[in-house]
Amino acid sequence: MAKIPLICLENINEYVLNQGHGVKGLADMGVKCLPKQYIHPQEERFFTSNNDGTGEDGSIPIIDMSNLGDHTMETLICNAAEKWGFFQIINHGVPLKVLEDVKVATYRFFELSAEEKSKYLKENSPTSCVRYGTSFVPQVERALEWKDYLSLLFVSEEEALALWPLACRAEALEYMKSSENVIRNLVKILMKGLNIHDIDIDIDIDEKKESLIMGAKRINLNYYPKCPNPELTVGVGRHSDVSTLTVLLQDDVGGLYVRGSGAEAESWIHVAPMKGALVINIGDALEILSNGKYKSVEHRVTANGRNNRVSIPIFVNPNPNLIIAPLQELIDRGEMPKYRELLYLDYVNYFFQKPHDGKATIEFAKLFN
């Protein structure tokens, strides 16, 4: 039996946040009751007896990308982006080994001692491109989320090789490089769906658009330790991503839920884990660029009472120094802009100023409510 050191509840912030033990530290200690800092208000809790990965699996489309250039596949992708804002892709060209390796590397990083990991806390990290943390924005959250993370901003391969933690560097970089093609193809297909004519699957995206749509990339390694009272807390609260696109690798545990569309808007659909698949979701930036055609949909992650879970999203973002707004081609065609012009950096800063709050961030950009 593991010894359970006594830490009083008041010291939890010091232990989890400042000393860098994270929620993994609490879980490893064998805490039997969820500390009060993690208890979410009733209306934000979301737990079904099924949500240890065997939950009701919904109708998020699964799209086979093996036939590049196939019109039917392109239509499926654009329709999924319009209706669900979420879909899974298979036969996407990222080798299974790369996906498995990055999951192993995620465990390897989080298994490091708190002392080692805390070198990457905001206060200590040698670079703002590497950040280890817990919850979402603990300074402003009334209830903390049961999740630790390592966030890696990709600037260049040289910088990644020099600064990303050794425990996961090679695998995270390989995953990022291997997913480059599928990201490009998805962007081209989605632009084609908007009738942006200079973009087709065989034609390169022009430099200006590339910067606007995919000018910055960030990879997060998320670790959700087994939780003593999953029914009282959340892994990640309701939110939509601020990215253009998110490419998410999840393991086989499950727990990601997406808000349904149309008549199902009140229900939450489980994104069933599928070996080798990648989950794609539209983020706020693409909802804005597409003038609302593609939907950035709310999602949340449950805590799990039986298993540890890892997930690894790649956030494909606009260059932070660019103004985002509905694409000029759409406005020239007579569409009324539904969102105002915003510096992308201001949009992201606004997101990180407040706790996860559903779709509230994009309201900040909407011209009419």
Closest alpha carbon to 103 in 168, 160, 54:
168
Q: Is 361 in the site for ligand AKG (CB under 6 A)?
A: no
- Minimum Å gap between C-beta 354 and ligand AKG is 15
- Minimum Å gap between C-beta 240 and Fe ion is 7
Q: Is 145 in the site for Fe ion (CB under 5 A)?
A: no
Q: Alpha helix locations (H) across the chain?
A: 12, 22-29, 71-83, 96-110, 114-117, 157-163, 169-178, 180-192, 207-214, 284-289, 328-332, 344-351, 360-363
Q: Closest residue (Cβ) to ligand AKG?
A: 311
Going by their DSSP bridges, the two strands 86-90 and 342-343 should be labelled as unpaired
- Minimum Å gap between C-beta 249 and ligand AKG is 9
> Which C-beta is closer to ligand AKG: that of 168 or that of 330?
168
Q: How far does CA 288 lie from the centroid of its chain?
A: 18
CA distance to 8, 47, 158, 174, per residue, from 304 (Å): 24, 9, 37, 29
d(CA 346, CA 190): 25
Q: Is 242 in the site for ligand AKG (CB under 6 A)?
A: no
d(CA 182, CA 91): 10
Size of the site for Fe ion (CB under 5 A): 1
> Which C-beta is closer to ligand AKG: that of 182 or that of 248?
248
209 touches, from Fe ion, ligand AKG, none (C-beta below 5 to 8 Å by class)? none
What DSSP character marks residue 206?
P
- Minimum Å gap between C-beta 207 and ligand AKG is 28
Q: Is 299 in the site for ligand AKG (CB under 6 A)?
A: yes
Size of the site for ligand AKG (CB under 6 A): 11
| Binding string, residues 245-264; x marks residues near ligand AKG by CB under 6 A | ---x-x-----x--------
Output the DSSP codes for 115-162: HHHGGGSTTT-SSTTEEEEESS-TTT-SS--S-EEEEEEES-HHHHHH
Q: Closest residue (Cβ) to Fe ion?
A: 241
> Which C-beta is closer to ligand AKG: that of 73 or that of 89?
89
End-to-end CA distance of the chain: 57
301 touches, from ligand AKG, Fe ion, none (C-beta below 5 to 8 Å by class)? ligand AKG
304 touches, from ligand AKG, Fe ion, none (C-beta below 5 to 8 Å by class)? none
Q: Is 302 in the site for ligand AKG (CB under 6 A)?
A: no
> Which C-beta is closer to Fe ion: that of 241 or that of 251?
241
Coil, helix or strand at residue 294 = coil
> Which C-beta is closer to ligand AKG: that of 224 or that of 294?
224
d(CA 55, CA 270): 7
- Scan residues 205-224 and list those touching ligand AKG (CB under 6 A): 220, 222
| Binding string, residues 309-328; x marks residues near ligand AKG by CB under 6 A | --x-x---------------
- Minimum Å gap between C-beta 168 and Fe ion is 20
Q: Tokens 């959340």 — which residue? A: 234
> Which C-beta is closer to ligand AKG: that of 131 or that of 338?
131
> Which C-beta is closer to ligand AKG: that of 255 or that of 326?
255
d(CA 8, CA 29): 13
Going by their DSSP bridges, the two strands 342-343 and 323-324 should be labelled as antiparallel
- Pull the structure tokens for residue 135: 């919850």
Coil, helix or strand at residue 73 = helix
- Scan residues 205-244 and list those touching Fe ion (CB under 5 A): 241
Give residues in contact with Fe ion (CB under 5 A).
241
Give residues in contact with ligand AKG (CB under 6 A).
220, 222, 236, 241, 248, 250, 256, 299, 301, 311, 313
